[in-house]
Amino acid sequence: MEELFSNLSFGLSVALSLNNLLFLVIGVVVGMIVGIFPGFGPAAGIAILIPMTFGLEPTTAIIMLSGIYYGAMYGGTITSILINTPGESATVASTLDGYPLAKNGRAGPALVMQAIASFIGGTIGVVLICAFTPFLANFAASFGPSEYFLIVMLGLLLLTTMMGENLLNGIISALLGFAIAIVGVDAISGAQRYTFGSPELIGGIYFVPVAIGLFGIGELLNCLYEGQHRQATEKLKITFMSKDFWPEAKDYIESKVTFFRGAIIGFIAGVLPGSGATIGSIMAYSIEKKVAKDPEKFGKGEMRGLVAPESANNAASAGAMVPLISLGIPGSGATAVLLGALLMWGLQPGPLLIVEQPDLVWGLIASMYLGNMMLVLISILAIPLFVKFLDIPYRLVVPVIIILCVIGTFALHSSIIETWMLVFTGILGFGMKRFGYSPAATVLALVLGAMAENTFLQSLIIGDGSLRIFIDRPISMFLSCILLGIIVVTIVLRVRKMLTNHGEEGSSAH
């Protein structure tokens, strides 16, 4: 416990520096704005703003980008409650009771309660991070290339959770990411691969233009295709000075257990790579409805139905940092973009990061405490201001963001090829969105593909070409067994599902 407080005090000394604090404020405010715009999401916001962080220290940049990630969870619920449009997939469950609350004339109490629930969920998540991170850091000295390869393979196996119902489309999405990852110079032989004689491709295809294209431009084009630029904005007036703005005492009393139950469920979902805030919020809502004595109230404007997913999605965003920082495994599109940002600054996420970069790790964790405090105040006091963003016509927002994407990408290396790559991947991302492919799987495969290849080749060199290196040591054996177990369970579940579907089809035919 003494070591925990020592680490936290050290982290606070890093996070409270004027520069880090300034960019933390920028990050959480931008995150809220990103969350408010429907369909945009934290992954796109982080990807677009990565080029603007190149002049910053790595710790400052990661604090800001992480602020965008969990700040989007706060902002995404504003549109869920007010106009029944989730700003981010993790806030979909919040529409089920949030919008009915607004229709019942309780928009103010709903917005305040979601801010408090988000704060409690985020804070509990950060407390649990403090407990988990040092525990995983103890394994730092035991990890070699073979262990890192097996961990990367765990992350790649979890791609299946990002692939949706259409497994074939998901596999194609992942293979596209692997194909992009192998462009450049072979790490062992030094031979050029798929560079087509271009000096700019010798170093490989850069992560940033691909991420901005797939997530940012692709999402914007999809929103235009769906006609969001033609939809009239709904004029809403909300003032926090009104007595009807604040929740009643019974709202707090009825939700006192829900705050913590949702946070625990969300954190567990966040820690499990591939699960994330969306699944965590839906699970929290479902469980809350099942344990309630009056489940018939849910879906009609029940405050517990809003509190549960809100505390869950913010705790999940904190929980997702545990596998990202400790093991280098991202569990969602947003954390995959964060992983790419860490690698871009030459930081290798994993157990050694906690030992070698304690200022970054503990500064980030402490900044999440501070960020949640800022967000709960901003969420409540600036709700009328954020609602004004909904009045901005979408047709004006889109071209501004696209221009910023192009300028940011070109500013990276003054490369026309990377700028054209942004345009191409933007069109590709739009097509993937329309036809059921997974941009998140592509980005995760791009980020992890090169790591998998390098650690695999290093392991074979150390083991003189023998695959026994992956089962020789206790940790390698343990990770190999987990990998095998996941593969077997996945196959069994898919076969059972196919047999069940076949049986149902057969019975309906009779």
Residues 479-506 pLDDT 10s: 888 888 878 887 887 788 778 776 666 6
129 Rama class: left (phi>0) / alpha (psi -120 to 50) / beta: alpha
The answer to whether residue 501 sits within a structural domain is: no
The answer to whether residue 242 sits within a structural domain is: yes
Check: CB of residue 68 under 8 Å from CB of residue 42. yes
- Looking at mean pLDDT, say which of 59-68, 314-323, 413-422 comes out highest: 59-68
Written as one string, the DSSP assignment of 241-275 is TSGGGSPPHHHHHHHHHHHHHHHHHHHHHHHSTTT
Query: Which H or E run contains 139?
Result: none
Structure tokens at 103: 């229709």
**Residue 193 in 3-state DSSP?**
strand
Using 50, 70 and 90 to split pLDDT, how confident is the model at 41? low
Check: CB of residue 324 under 8 Å from CB of residue 33. no
Mean per-residue pLDDT of the chain? 78
Does residue 276 register a pLDDT over 60? yes
- CA distance linking residue 267 with residue 49, whole number of Å: 26
Arithmetic mean of pLDDT, 343-350:
78
Residue 108 has a pLDDT of 77
Give the residue from 48, 52, 65 showing the smallest Cα distance to 405: 48
The answer to whether residue 162 sits within a structural domain is: yes
Residue 95 has a pLDDT of 78
Q: Which residues on neighbouring strands pair with residue 192, listed in sequence order? A: 185
The answer to whether residue 216 sits within a structural domain is: yes
Does residue 208 register a pLDDT over 60? yes
Using 50, 70 and 90 to split pLDDT, how confident is the model at 236? low
pTM of the model: 0.64
Arithmetic mean of pLDDT, 219-242:
65
Check: CB of residue 123 under 8 Å from CB of residue 109. no
The answer to whether residue 469 sits within a structural domain is: no
Give the residue from 434, 471, 441, 259 showing the smallest Cα distance to 332: 441
Arithmetic mean of pLDDT, 101-118:
82
Using 50, 70 and 90 to split pLDDT, how confident is the model at 427? very high
- CA distance linking residue 432 with residue 440, whole number of Å: 10
Chain centroid to CA 121: 16
Residue 428 has a pLDDT of 92
The answer to whether residue 9 sits within a structural domain is: yes
The answer to whether residue 495 sits within a structural domain is: no
Structure confidence by residue, pLDDT tens digits, 61-81: 888 988 888 887 777 777 677
- CA distance linking residue 255 with residue 177, whole number of Å: 43
Structure tokens at 31: 């995150």
Which residues constitute the domain of residue 185? 2-462
The answer to whether residue 498 sits within a structural domain is: no
Which tops the pLDDT comparison, 87 or 217? 217
Query: What's the domain count of the chain?
Result: 1
Written as one string, the DSSP assignment of 283-321 is HHHHHHHHH-S-GGGTTSS-HHHHHHHHHHHHHHHHHTH
Residue 31 has a pLDDT of 85
- CA distance linking residue 312 with residue 117, whole number of Å: 9
Does residue 20 register a pLDDT over 80? yes
Q: Which residues on neighbouring strands pair with residue 333, listed in sequence order? A: none
Beta carbons within 10 angstroms of residue 444's beta carbon: 31
Which tops the pLDDT comparison, 320 or 163? 320
In one-letter notation, the amino acid at residue 268 is I
Give the residue from 218, 134, 227, 150 showing the smallest Cα distance to 422: 218
Residue 73 has a pLDDT of 75
